[in-house]
């Protein structure tokens, strides 16, 4: 039996939103109105989704620093986070709305999201809990950049590795980038941060962080750790809603790395979790447990198919 003292502790500092979701045949273009289906609400927010993914990955005690408003939207978010077993450090500014997100999901399972930050915008440097004892700090960019930077610098000073999912895409100050140990991005975010027109491999090599992982949707992901590159092809699933799949990847990967899982295995587990997250509607509702991921991986071929690996290597500019 694992001694709770030996269980890695991950702190996620980030956003929590209530997602208002409608499925439609396609995502409306500017000026267009589209008739969709019934609307649903789900607990979401990149920070909260990643915290749930970290907790459901198993083997990690997950804490979350978040801010909620004093309105009815806060309760379903808290219920979801508490149901996932998180330890919450909640800031409650008065007279401020809980963060909300307005999401259209199309029939190809892709989405378009607009976020009203609400209480998420109230997190400041002063809200960071004591860092000793945490094995990683995981953040995103849906809370103020000043808070993200202050938390990253505090973690760096305390010797706690910093994982940053640079989403939504924004330029990062050099002092923040220098404090990041693990940078998690999608292809667009990678190009924004690298500021290069070159290949994915060139962009990965250009960034100063020791470990950079780029997620490439259904294609899979590519990572650079020091001078070593890893590729993990995507798992084929019937996708109904990709919302939260990237968040699931981030949370699952940090949980695996916090447990010293070798990089190739950690990428495989995170990719499987992200694929499964696409098979159900909603963000936190679709994050799989480690049991579901283990069962899925047990019936998935290993090693990866050679021709798929080569196609991914070519796409990334590694071959
Ligand atoms: O990454 C998906 C999330 O982005 C949604 O849950 C939404 O709340 C926005 O934060």
At 105-161, the pLDDT tens digits run 999 999 999 999 999 999 999 999 999 999 999 999 999 999 999 999 999 999 999
How many A from CA of 302 to the centre of ligand 1? 32
Closest Cα to atom 2 of ligand 1: 244
Q: What is the mean pLDDT of residues 253-276?
A: 98
How many A from CA of 310 to the centre of ligand 1? 32
pTM over 0.95, yes/no: yes
How many A from CA of 178 to the centre of ligand 1? 26
Pocket test for ligand 1, best of 73, 140, 243 (most atoms within 8 A of CB): 243
Closest Cα to atom 10 of ligand 1: 45
Say whether pLDDT at 20 is over 60. yes
| CA dist., res. 243 & res. 195, Å (int) | 26
| CA dist., res. 151 & res. 179, Å (int) | 10
Pocket test for ligand 1, best of 47, 67, 97, 103 (most atoms within 8 A of CB): 103
Say whether pLDDT at 1 is over 50. no
Mean pLDDT of the chain: 96
Do 276 and 293 meet the contact criterion of CB atoms below 8 Å apart?
yes
What count of Cα atoms within 13 Å lies in the side-chain half-sphere of residue 62? 33
Catalytic residue among 19, 106, 181, 247: 247
CA-99 nearest atom, ligand 1: 8
Is 247 a residue of the active site? yes
According to the model, what pLDDT value does residue 6 have?
86
Say whether pLDDT at 26 is over 60. yes
According to the model, what pLDDT value does residue 3 have?
64
How many A from CA of 144 to the centre of ligand 1? 16
How many A from CA of 268 to the centre of ligand 1? 23
Pocket test for ligand 1, best of 138, 184, 282, 283 (most atoms within 8 A of CB): 283
Closest Cα to atom 6 of ligand 1: 44
Q: What is the mean pLDDT of residues 232-248?
A: 97
Domains in the chain with CATH codes: 9-16+44-98+120-316 (3.40.1190.20)
Closest Cα to atom 8 of ligand 1: 45
Q: What DSSP character marks residue 210?
A: S
Closest Cα to atom 7 of ligand 1: 45
Q: What is the mean pLDDT of residues 48-52?
A: 99
Question: 26, 22, 25: which is closest to 40 by C-alpha?
Answer: 22
Query: In percent, how much of the chain has pLDDT > 70?
Result: 99
What count of Cα atoms within 13 Å lies in the side-chain half-sphere of residue 109? 19
Say whether pLDDT at 5 is over 80. no
| CA dist., res. 277 & res. 254, Å (int) | 16
3-state SS, residue 309: helix
According to the model, what pLDDT value does residue 4 have?
66
Taking CB atoms and a 6 Å cutoff, what residues make up the pocket around ligand 1? 15, 17, 19, 44-46, 49, 101, 113, 115, 142, 243-244, 247, 283
At 171-196, the pLDDT tens digits run 999 999 999 999 999 999 999 999 99
| CA dist., res. 281 & res. 105, Å (int) | 9
How many A from CA of 109 to the centre of ligand 1? 14
Q: What is the mean pLDDT of residues 59-76?
A: 98
Question: With bands split at pLDDT 50, 70 and 90, how would you rate the model's confidence at 197?
Answer: confident
At 294-317, the pLDDT tens digits run 999 999 977 788 999 999 999 999
């Amino acid at each position: 039996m694992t001694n709770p003292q030996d269980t890695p502790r991950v702190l996620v500092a980030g956003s929590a939103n209530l997602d208002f979701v409608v499925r439609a045949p396609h995502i409306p273009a500017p000026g267009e109105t589209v008739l969709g289906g019934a609307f649903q609400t789900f607990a979401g927010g990149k920070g909260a989704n990643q915290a749930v993914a970290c907790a459901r990955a198993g083997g990690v005690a997950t804490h979350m620093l978040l801010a909620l408003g004093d309105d009815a939207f806060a309760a379903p978010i808290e219920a979801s986070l508490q149901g996932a077993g998180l330890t919450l450090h909640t800031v409650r500014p008065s007279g401020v709305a809980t963060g909300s997100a307005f999401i259209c999901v199309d029939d190809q399972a892709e989405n378009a999201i607009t976020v009203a930050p609400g209480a998420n915008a109230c997190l400041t440097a002063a809200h960071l809990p004591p860092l000793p004892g945490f094995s990683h700090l995981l953040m995103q960019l849906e809370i103020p950049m000043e808070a993200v930077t202050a938390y990253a610098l505090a973690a760096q000073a305390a010797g706690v590795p910093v994982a940053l999912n640079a989403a939504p895409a924004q330029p990062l100050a050099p002092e923040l980038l220098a404090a990041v140990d693990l940078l998690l991005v999608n292809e667009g975010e990678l190009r924004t941060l690298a500021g290069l027109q070159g290949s994915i491999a060139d962009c990965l090599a250009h960034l100063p962080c020791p470990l950079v992982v780029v997620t490439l949707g259904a294609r899979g992901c590519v990572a650079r750790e020091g001078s070593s590159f890893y590729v993990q092809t995507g798992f084929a699933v019937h996708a109904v809603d990709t919302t939260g799949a990237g968040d699931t990847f981030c949370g699952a990967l940090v949980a695996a790395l916090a447990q010293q899982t070798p990089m190739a295995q950690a990428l495989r587990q995170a990719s499987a979790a992200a694929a499964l997250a696409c098979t159900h509607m909603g963000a936190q509702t679709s994050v799989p447990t480690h049991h579901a991921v283990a069962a899925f991986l047990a019936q998935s071929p290993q090693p990866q198919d050679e021709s798929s690996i080569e196609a991914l290597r070519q796409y990334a500019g590694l071959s």
